[in-house]
Amino acid sequence: MGVANLLENWSKFRHTHPVDDHGHEDWMAYPTDIKWAMAIDLDACIGCNACSVACYAENNLPVVGKDKYSHGAAMHWMRIERYWDENEGEGDFSAEQGARFLPMLCQQCDAAPCETVCPVGATNHTEDGLNSQIYNRCIGSRYCLVNCPYKVRYFNWYDYPSTKDVWPSPMEQQLNPDLSVRGKGVMEKCTFCKQRTYTARNDAKTQGREVRDSDVMTACQESCPTGAITFGNLFNAESQVAMKWKAQQVKLDTDKQAKDENPDNGLRGYHVLEWLRPYPSVMYMERVRETEI
């Protein structure tokens, strides 16, 4: 019963996970100690958009067309942002050192601003450290989008499945049956390819072992021509992503990384907007540029 449950577990429910870097030991909802995380090397990213298109293919994202795109209805869960070096003065850009590309996807924050504000609890924290979005539960108040500092949540402003030229026959045959096609009035966002991670997790579980890097790749990671994206289980010390985070001394639950503490330590790992303390699960590694040239 609720109250008994409440009293007996009071302290446990004030759990620190997932803000903490480790799974909560007495958290029964954790079959395996999984915390999905990502590392994106901005020096390797060439901004080619392959990840974005792969995301369209994997996650049944609708193509909204020019008019709706112009009204900010684009549904790209994974978008490539292009920034310029700025000289003094507004909008005075310099292309001398090329452009800076930033692949922006849901950061799967561990203290997600979007989660707390949803009136119906349609977006929650999963036991594997993701920021879930329950389409069936969503009533479309869009508070999560308003409160998302990265603006990586996308709302179905129209009923795309029934909209002309979004999936004209036979294009609907390409839709991925592993996940739903969202109707109007629902918020959606990057899920770290939940359909893939869940399969991997269950396989590992049935084989009674930890999830390995070889088990799962997100669609964006799989396609990335330069391998700029690393994805895996942060709790598994052997995983590439864990090693990268460790090498960059990046912590999940800090608003200031080691490289900010001491600029000379040669590190380049950081979280975007980390000073807002959403504790993102995506680590970016700074773009590097030659000084001799």
Partner 1 sequence: MSKRYLLALYNNFEEAEQVVRELRTSSIQGFNAADDMVIKSPIEHPEVEEFIGPKPVKVQWFTLFGATLIGSLGFLWVASTQANFFSQMKGGKPIVPIPPDMVLTYEFFILGGVYITVLGFLVCAGLPARRSPLYSAKVSEDQIGIMVKAEEGATTALKGIFAKHKALEIQEEVGR
Partner 2 sequence: MTENDFNRRDFLKVLGWGGTAVALSGCGNTSIQNGKEIITSFVTPPDYVIPSVANYFNTTCAQCSAGCDIMGRVREGRVLKAEGNPHSPINYGKMCGLGQAGVQNHYNPDRVTKPMLAGKEVTWDQALAAINDKLGGVKGEQVAFLTGDISGHPRVLLDNYLEALGSKNHFSYEAASPAVLRAANKKAYGVEMPRYRIDKARVVVSFGADFLGAWITPVHFAQMYARFRKGTRPEGRGVLVQFEPKMTLTGANADRWVGIRPGTEGVMALGLINALGAYGLHIPSDIAAAVKEYTPERVSLDTGVPFEQINKVAKILKERSPSLILAGDAAEGYAHGLQNALAIAMLNQVLGNIGKTVEAPASVPFPQLAPAVGNRASLVAFNKGLADGKYKVVFTYGANPVYSAPAALKFQDNFRKADFKVAFAHYMDETAQAADLVLPLASAMEDWATVVPEYTAVPEGGNSETYVHMSFRQPMMEKLYPDTRGIGDMLLALLKQRQPDTYKGFDDFYSYLHGAILKNKVALGSKASDDDDVFWNATVSKGIVPLSGHANKVSGKLTAADLKLPPTTGADIAYPLRLIPTVSASIRDGRNANEPWLQESPDPLTTVVWDSWVEINPKTAAKLGIKEGDIIEITSRSGSIKTQAYLFPGIHPDAIAVPVGYGHQGMGRYANSIGANVYSMLDPVFDDKTGDLAFNETNVKIAQSGERVILVKDEGAAGGSQAHMRIAVQWPVDRVDYSKEV
Partner 3 sequence: MTKDIREDIAWAKINQDVLKSLETPRPAYWVILAVALSVFGVGLGCEIYQYQMGMGVSNLDNPHAWALYIGSFIFWIGMSHSGTLLSAILHIMHADWRKPIYRFAEAMTTFSLITAALFVAVHLGRVWQIYYALPYPNERWAWPNWQSPLLWDAMAVFTYLSSSMIFLYVGMIPDLAICRDNMHSGWRKKLYTLMALGWEGTDRQWRNFRMTYLTVACFLIPLAVSVHSIVSTDFAVSQQPGMHVTSFPPYFVAGALYSGCAAIISLFIILRYVFRFEEYMTLPILRKVVRLTFAIAMVWTYLNCVEFAATWYGHDPAEKAVLVQKAIGPYAPFFWTMIFCGSVVPFAMMVKKWQTSIPIMFAVSLLLNLGMFLERWMIISPTLSHDYWPWQWDHNQWPSMIQWGIVFGSFGFFVTLFMVFCKVFPSVSMYEVKEMVYHRSLHSKKAESAAPEGFVAEELAVKGAN
Binding region for partner 3 (CB under 8 A)? 68, 71-74, 79, 81, 83, 104, 113, 116-122, 137-143, 145-147, 149-151, 153-159, 184-187, 273, 276
Whether the CB-CB separation of 59 and 176 falls below 8 Å is answered with yes
Structure tokens at 164: 């002309």
One residue of 6, 29, 98, 253 binding partner 2 per CB under 8 A: 98
Query: Is residue 289 near partner 2 by the rule CB under 8 A?
Result: yes
CB 75 to partner 1: min, Å: 24
Smaller CB distance to partner 3: residue 20 or 159?
159
Residue with tokens 């966002």: 189
DSSP H or E run through 269: strand 269-270
Q: Is 31 in the site for partner 2 (CB under 8 A)?
A: no
Which are the contacts of 126, defined by CB distance < 8 A and separation ≥ 6? 132
Q: Give residues 68-87 in contact with partner 2 (rule: CB under 8 A).
A: 69-70, 74, 76, 79-86
Among 69, 5, 47, 4, which Cα is nearest to 225's?
A: 47
Could you say which of partner 1, partner 2, partner 3, none residue 66 binds, taking C-beta under 5 to 8 angstroms by partner kind?
A: partner 2
| Look-up of token digits 């999560």 | 144
Identify whether the C-beta of residue 281 lies closer than 8 Å to the C-beta of residue 35. Answer: yes
Q: Nearest distance from residue 76's CB to partner 1, in Å? A: 24
- Residue 273 lies near partner 2 (rule: CB under 8 A): yes
